[in-house]
Structure 1
Amino acid sequence: MSSSRDIAKKSIMYHKRLKGTILLGQKSRRLSIKEIQMIYTPGVAAVSKEVFDHPEKKFVLTSKRNNVAIVTDGTRILGLGNIGPYAAMPVMEGKAMLYKQYARITAFPICLSTTDKKKIIETIIAIEPSFGAINLEDIESPKVLDISQELQKKIPVPVFHDDRHGTSVVALAALLNALKLVKKQLESVKIIVAGAGSAGVGITEILVFAGCKNVIVSDSTGAIYKGRRKNMNQYKNEIAAHTNPKREKGSLEDVIKNADVFIGVSGISNLITKDTVKKMKKDAIVFALTNPEPEIDPVIAKKAGARIVATGSYQFHNRVNNALVFPYIMRAILDHGISKIETEILYAVAVAISNTIPKKQLRYDNIISNVGDLRLQQNISRALKKFYKK
């Protein structure tokens, strides 16, 4: 297996050779004069008038329904932090490639030169007519949570926040299968979520919706509980209201004692150690999902006693990465005309992904399907059919 350093060098050379990883092409490669007459002047005027007279036809006479804007301000790129819009571009291009590869969606990287919340909202509202959906990506929290909330009120297309929605879906899907293998029930396990940013908020929401009774979220200040005053915001207050039923206090190291599951979305590599894992219950499940380097090396976690270990990296087994989610859920959302992404929808997708891998293939080192599994789209689309909007 290649080392992180080797992969980094190869990735830089790959991008240099391609000079970027995406391009925009036309559906008809060689245009005849007759085709030009239809797609441009004079024929296109009739199409524009048809859309003006019947606005709903914008979804069938233009590419709007298949276009997605991937919007970032570069303030929270992977585990690299605030590296700006130019350095964010390779990540957004890679995401656009996955949209095209797995869902035939045309996605556009929109890397903004502003970090102002109001300006970001205004910009997205202004460009919405060209897109069937908005994908918010790698914007710092809690700002991005405010942006998502505000946009969903003001624009008629769905706002998919991948750090929140995608990560929560894939984490739950993998967890459902991991729990089957260790013969534990979601309702009875103790789960520690490290990180109260976008991913932590999303994971907590979907775990509570799914029936988990004992989730504790830890941030840089320690465990979040009802009544905590230091380093709180609107979203942490919501977490406090629905989690940590025993109001456990203290650091991550304190509250992880006797936990069944650790889910790391902290953005901090090597956050926990082998001694941390040893504090957990037998048959512990460790999801260290921070990229590019996880909260703990999978080998160390296994040696410390974890039964199942997963990361968000394609460098290891058990790849719990939102690439399993965003192309396929977006395809289904666009096809079914879903205009708002609710927790119920995310839960349905998580269950569909979880059930995609046959029970006979479930193993400690194989708890979730690979990103190219052709059954993912079929199962997710079927799961969201009941949410279809005419």
Structure 2
Amino acid sequence: MGLDEDALEYHRADPPGKLEIATTKPTNTQRDLSLAYSPGVAAPCRAIADDPADAYTYTTKGNMVGVVSNGTAVLGLGDIGAQASKPVMEGKGVLFKRFADIDVFDIELDQDDPASFAEAVSMMEPTFGGINIEDIAAPACFQIEEFLREEMDIPIFHDDQHGTAIISGAALQNACEIADKELSELEVVFAGAGAAATATARFYDSLGVDRDNITMCDVDGIITAERAANGDPHSYVEPFARERPDGDLADAMDGADAFVGLSVGGIVSEEMVRSMADDPIIFAMANPEPEIGYEEAKAARDDTVIMATGRSDYPNQVNNVLGFPFIFRGALDVRATEINEAMKVAASEALAELAKRDVPDAVVKAYGDQPLQFGPGYIIPKPLDPRVLFEVSGAVAEAAMDSGVARETLDLDEYRETLEARLGKSREMMRVVLNKAQSDPKRLVLAEGDDPKMIRAAYQLTEQEIADPVLIGHKRDIWEQAADLGLDFDPEIVDPTTDELDPYAERLYDLRKRNGVTRRESDGLVHDGNYLASVMVEMGDADAMLTGLTNHYPTALRPPLQVVGTADDADYAAGVYMLTFKNRVVFVADATVNQAPDADVLAEVAEHTADLARQFNVDPRVALLSYSDFGTVDNEGTRKPREAARRLRDDPDIEFPVDGEMQADTAVVEEMLAGDYSFAELDEPANVLVFPNLEAGNIAYKLLQRLGGAEAIGPMLVGMDKPVHVLQRGDE
């Protein structure tokens, strides 16, 4: 099947389209329905009637954007009408939800008259927290946006104008830095004089480009002062009409520093690129065919050509999804009355700054492990970089507050954390641990320190002040790799080939001499990163260790078990995964260590896992799982979790509710616990699930991850004397 056939099948698969409405509150009982509708709904209605601002408290308005179009200028399709534009507007809604957790109603109005269209949209203000107008032809789009900004007291944003301006503006700032050019001195040529080009030229002026250095061209050539005086083209371009002779695009590009294409494909030749100034900046953003191809532009010159396009198959895609979801997120969260120029500039500057920072491995992996390092091939972030949400939205919210258009004041540090939580429950839970780590950074030794992922992890730990990393590996290799990765930091390195390791070898010998390790063998073992890291932690030269990235789990786990060992109050270690769902967190144990635990092991694992849950600020409720419910099956297998649960319940030092043996659904479904098993110690569903053996735990967490939509964090090793973290091989 071709792309068109695939797209048609994608859209017609049941249910048709790409959006649906989902309830956010319980609707399972008569009481639920009486609260959701009559008679309970009268209470919020009265509250809003008394104070209209309460609409943000009691309804979806504060997280609802209207995506509105008449279909007169749909990207790549032209004037196809309101009805035909609906798939695009639904798609816009998907992007709002996927990237910024904003709900959308798409509205297609069969109205070409700008005044009538604008009036219809203005009447929707009670419904929405913001309006995104989309795919409307120029100059009507300018008139509509101006009217709505005057008439409505909520954010209005025409993405076709401002999205491209903001994203390409971020790229322009970084391109100038790389090319060592000043924005104020930049000679910029535009191909195109429509909505996107005009708005982008205006925005570049806001960023610091001298308006007198901007030359705009349309199909008839350079837009001169003489043409503008004769009303050609529309009046919105007039501020950029130049006092210069007539000419075509080739004349305009001669000697220019930057070319910005928002027109049609194939209109720029290699010769035109060669005529530009040194190290030219070329943003050829026509879709699907750029004004000049990426390879052609690069091949035209021997110096540095900094190139961006609108395509995803080349570096530096100017993609509007980097802008509108996050700009609206920040604007909605401070209840801004508008999206002003300060907020747009803040968004662009935040994107530019983010592109200079090290890119997380998860993002690199999502883009095929291609190098993503600040330079000519990477001047704007990637849309799948999760940091865009809290960097851009936070900058926009701050600019709204500073510029006086915000009706709510936010603590920006707290706001950043709420934004991070929107990326998923796992990010919210990890933030708890990161905050604790940042308050008291520890020395963390990375056993596989010469692996690129570990080097980048060390850089990010340092940059975010989470920990003080110590890398084990060859110094020269680590320094060279750090330089190749563009990481400007000076990590602490322990090099087994050059550093003095005698004290570590002696300590390892003392610990293992009655387990068959000779003094000579200990000299060799400390050259193994896992053993060296383990001894460093055991001796107190590091507070914690991390390993497992390049070794099988049992191989990586063996040295810390032999050297660090379990805690004084523990006889067993265990591997725990934290599984996060949309509104629930569950800790699963044991999924990696103990193959056939008896009741003693199960009880201890339950206790360790409950302690781990508390580290994430979760009050543990523990269930010992089986295929039996409270004695319905009695055999050796079911007796182990039953006995473990009994011991924990009888222990006066245990301060968490625990019960079992029970089936998995009994443990997590409140109605089942409250029904037939109302005698159970758990009055709420369990959030710590202890499985009867390694097979069950490992199978369960992987099924929940792959089929149940859970995000898995771990494995986290519990029961050790000091913090030891062993990754599954290949983890990010």
Q: Give the TM-score taking structure 1 as reference length.
A: 0.92
SS of equivalent residue, structure 1 residue 367? coil
**Match of residue 376 from structure 1:** 388
For 2:324, the aligned partner's letter is: F
The aligned runs of 1:97-112 (5 Å cut-off) are 97-112=94-109
For 2:2 and 2:200, locate their aligned partners in 1 and report how far apart those are by CA, in whole Å. 32
SS of equivalent residue, structure 2 residue 279? coil
Query: Is 1:387 the counterpart of 2:400 in the alignment?
Result: yes
For 1:8 and 1:200, locate their aligned partners in 2 and report how far apart those are by CA, in whole Å. 29
**Match of residue 225 from structure 2:** 226
For 1:234, the aligned partner's letter is: S
For 1:324, the aligned partner's letter is: L
For 1:288 and 1:17, locate their aligned partners in 2 and report how far apart those are by CA, in whole Å. 35
**Match of residue 193 from structure 1:** 190
Query: Is 1:254 the counterpart of 2:255 in the alignment?
Result: no
For 1:160, the aligned partner's letter is: F
**Match of residue 300 from structure 1:** 296
- For residues 299-358 of structure 1, the C-alpha deviation after alignment (integer angstroms, 9 at most, x for no partner) is 222222371221112232211111100000010011112212222221111001110122
The structure-2 alpha-carbon separation of the partners of 1:277 and 1:386, relative to structure 1 and needing over 3 Å to count, comes to closer
For 1:379, the aligned partner's letter is: E
Size of the alignment, in residue pairs? Answer: 381
Q: What CA RMSD, in Å, does the superposition of the two structures yield over aligned residues?
A: 1.9
**2:310 paired residue among 306, 309, 312:** 312
**Match of residue 284 from structure 2:** 288
Give the superposition deviation at 1:102: 0.8
Do the aligned residues in 2 keep the contact of 1:181 with 1:362 (CA within 8 Å)? no
**1:153 paired residue among 137, 147, 150:** 150
**Match of residue 10 from structure 1:** 6
Do the aligned residues in 2 keep the contact of 1:270 with 1:295 (CA within 8 Å)? yes
Q: Give the TM-score taking structure 2 as reference length.
A: 0.50
Do the aligned residues in 1 keep the contact of 2:175 with 2:379 (CA within 8 Å)? yes
**Match of residue 216 from structure 1:** 215
Do the aligned residues in 1 keep the contact of 2:191 with 2:218 (CA within 8 Å)? yes
Give the superposition deviation at 1:43: 0.5
For 1:311 and 1:295, locate their aligned partners in 2 and report how far apart those are by CA, in whole Å. 9
Do the aligned residues in 1 keep the contact of 2:342 with 2:399 (CA within 8 Å)? no
Give the superposition deviation at 1:285: 1.5
The structure-2 alpha-carbon separation of the partners of 1:30 and 1:56, relative to structure 1 and needing over 3 Å to count, comes to closer
The aligned runs of 1:317-356 (5 Å cut-off) are 317-356=315-354
For 1:223, the aligned partner's letter is: I
For 1:238 and 1:184, locate their aligned partners in 2 and report how far apart those are by CA, in whole Å. 24
Percentage of matched positions with identical amino acids: 34
SS of equivalent residue, structure 1 residue 371? coil
For 2:394, the aligned partner's letter is: R
- For residues 199-249 of structure 1, the C-alpha deviation after alignment (integer angstroms, 9 at most, x for no partner) is 111111111112112111112222223332252322112333xxx4x5353
The aligned runs of 1:170-189 (5 Å cut-off) are 170-189=167-186
Do the aligned residues in 2 keep the contact of 1:79 with 1:293 (CA within 8 Å)? no
The structure-2 alpha-carbon separation of the partners of 1:301 and 1:218, relative to structure 1 and needing over 3 Å to count, comes to same
The structure-2 alpha-carbon separation of the partners of 1:88 and 1:181, relative to structure 1 and needing over 3 Å to count, comes to same
Do the aligned residues in 2 keep the contact of 1:225 with 1:248 (CA within 8 Å)? yes
Do the aligned residues in 2 keep the contact of 1:79 with 1:290 (CA within 8 Å)? no
**Match of residue 237 from structure 1:** 238
**1:364 paired residue among 352, 360, 376:** 376
SS of equivalent residue, structure 1 residue 31? coil
Query: Higher mean Cα deviation, 32-41 or 327-336?
Result: 32-41
Larger radius of gyration: 2
Determine which structure has greater relative contact order: mean sequence separation of CA pairs < 8 Å that are 6+ residues apart, divided by chain length: 1
**Match of residue 207 from structure 1:** 204
For 2:258 and 2:141, locate their aligned partners in 1 and report how far apart those are by CA, in whole Å. 27
Give the superposition deviation at 1:29: 6.0
**Match of residue 81 from structure 1:** 78
**2:25 paired residue among 25, 28, 51:** 28
SS of equivalent residue, structure 2 residue 312? coil
**Match of residue 457 from structure 2:** none
Give the superposition deviation at 1:116: 1.5
For 2:26 and 2:298, locate their aligned partners in 1 and report how far apart those are by CA, in whole Å. 52
For 2:287 and 2:108, locate their aligned partners in 1 and report how far apart those are by CA, in whole Å. 20
For 2:336 and 2:258, locate their aligned partners in 1 and report how far apart those are by CA, in whole Å. 33
Give the superposition deviation at 1:6: 5.2
Structure 1 portions without partners, runs of 5+: none
The structure-2 alpha-carbon separation of the partners of 1:33 and 1:292, relative to structure 1 and needing over 3 Å to count, comes to farther
The structure-2 alpha-carbon separation of the partners of 1:221 and 1:383, relative to structure 1 and needing over 3 Å to count, comes to same
For 2:6 and 2:267, locate their aligned partners in 1 and report how far apart those are by CA, in whole Å. 27
Give the superposition deviation at 1:7: 4.4
For 2:383, the aligned partner's letter is: V
For 2:350 and 2:356, locate their aligned partners in 1 and report how far apart those are by CA, in whole Å. 12
Give the superposition deviation at 1:382: 2.8
The structure-2 alpha-carbon separation of the partners of 1:133 and 1:233, relative to structure 1 and needing over 3 Å to count, comes to same
Query: Higher mean Cα deviation, 165-174 or 76-85?
Result: 76-85
For 2:47 and 2:108, locate their aligned partners in 1 and report how far apart those are by CA, in whole Å. 33
The structure-2 alpha-carbon separation of the partners of 1:260 and 1:24, relative to structure 1 and needing over 3 Å to count, comes to same
SS of equivalent residue, structure 2 residue 89? helix
SS of equivalent residue, structure 1 residue 35? helix
**Match of residue 50 from structure 1:** 47
For 1:168 and 1:155, locate their aligned partners in 2 and report how far apart those are by CA, in whole Å. 23
For 2:340 and 2:145, locate their aligned partners in 1 and report how far apart those are by CA, in whole Å. 12
Query: Is 1:138 the counterpart of 2:135 in the alignment?
Result: yes
Query: Higher mean Cα deviation, 14-23 or 210-219?
Result: 14-23
SS of equivalent residue, structure 2 residue 132? strand
For 1:194 and 1:283, locate their aligned partners in 2 and report how far apart those are by CA, in whole Å. 19
The structure-2 alpha-carbon separation of the partners of 1:192 and 1:6, relative to structure 1 and needing over 3 Å to count, comes to farther
